[in-house]
């Protein structure tokens, strides 16, 4: 019937559907039935390709992290040998994205807040990848000659997480629109 399968496997369709739904509605807010319907496949196809909903969520988180890494690498490529410019490029991009009306922040941060149980596998995976994001900021600050690198790193990480959350919590344009300006304040101390 719906046998066209235009070159896209069921597993991939499910992954794309889950990415969209998990990001926009949260992991707990989406049922597996909705995922497969949105993908145009059926439930057994999901469980043939992924071990569980949590397993699919972990794949989604990994994909999300890699999209973040891509942003980091773009900032590095646009400002070679200029860690300060790389940091500012990233926060300027955040300010722009977080000012859009339907902004939904960071899939990793959202997942951590959605799963308060620190032992839950989804939460653990999200926290692991989130730490890697913080590590990137720390690696940039380490290349800078500043008085208190630890405090600056902390400030930039807190700023990043603040933008992720405030972009959703306040009516746009909220405080997140000033992310670039605030990053400059912190860097110019």
Q: What's the token pair of residue 138?
A: 């720390």
Of 46-54, 61-69, 81-89, 162-170, which part binds a copy of itself (CB under 8 A)? 162-170
Binding residue for DNA, selected from 20, 54, 74, 82, defined by CB under 7 A:
54
Cα–Cα distance, 134 to 4 (Å, whole number) = 43
Q: How far apart are CA 157 and CA 147, in angstroms?
A: 17
Q: For residue 117, state whether it binds DNA (rule: CB under 7 A).
A: no
Cβ proximity of 90 and 77 under 8 Å? no
Q: Is 100 in the site for a copy of itself (CB under 8 A)?
A: no
| SS3 at position 1 | coil
| Interface with a copy of itself, residue 135, by CB under 8 A | no
Query: Is residue 117 within the footprint of a copy of itself (CB under 8 A)?
Result: yes
Applying the rule CB under 7 A, the residues between 7 and 46 that interact with DNA are 9-11, 30-34, 40-46
Among 39, 46, 75, 166, which residue interacts with a copy of itself (rule: CB under 8 A)?
Answer: 166
CA 8/CA 136 separation, integer angstroms: 34
Rule CB under 8 A: say whether 109 interacts with a copy of itself: yes
Nearest CA to 183 out of 90, 71, 108, 103 is that of 90
Residues found near DNA in the complex (CB under 7 A): 1-3, 5, 9-11, 30-34, 40-49, 52-54
């Amino acid at each position: 019937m719906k046998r066209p399968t235009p070159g896209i496997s069921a597993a991939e369709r499910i992954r794309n559907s889950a990415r969209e739904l998990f990001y926009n509605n949260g992991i707990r807010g989406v049922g597996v039935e909705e995922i497969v319907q949105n993908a145009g496949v059926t439930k057994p196809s999901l469980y043939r390709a992924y071990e569980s909903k949590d397993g699919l969520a972990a794949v989604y988180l990994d994909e999300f992290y890699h999209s973040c890494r891509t942003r980091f690498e773009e900032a590095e490529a646009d400002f070679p040998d200029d860690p300060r410019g790389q940091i500012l490029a990233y926060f300027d991009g955040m300010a722009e994205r977080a000012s859009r009306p339907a902004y939904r922040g960071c899939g990793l941060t959202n997942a951590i807040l959605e799963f308060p149980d620190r032992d839950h596998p989804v939460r653990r995976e999200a926290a692991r990848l989130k730490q890697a994001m913080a590590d990137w900021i720390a690696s940039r600050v380490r290349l800078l000659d500043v008085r208190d690198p630890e405090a600056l790193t902390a400030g930039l990480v807190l700023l990043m997480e603040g933008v992720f959350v405030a972009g959703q919590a306040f009516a746009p344009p909220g405080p997140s629109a000033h992310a670039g300006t605030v990053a400059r304040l912190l860097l110019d101390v």
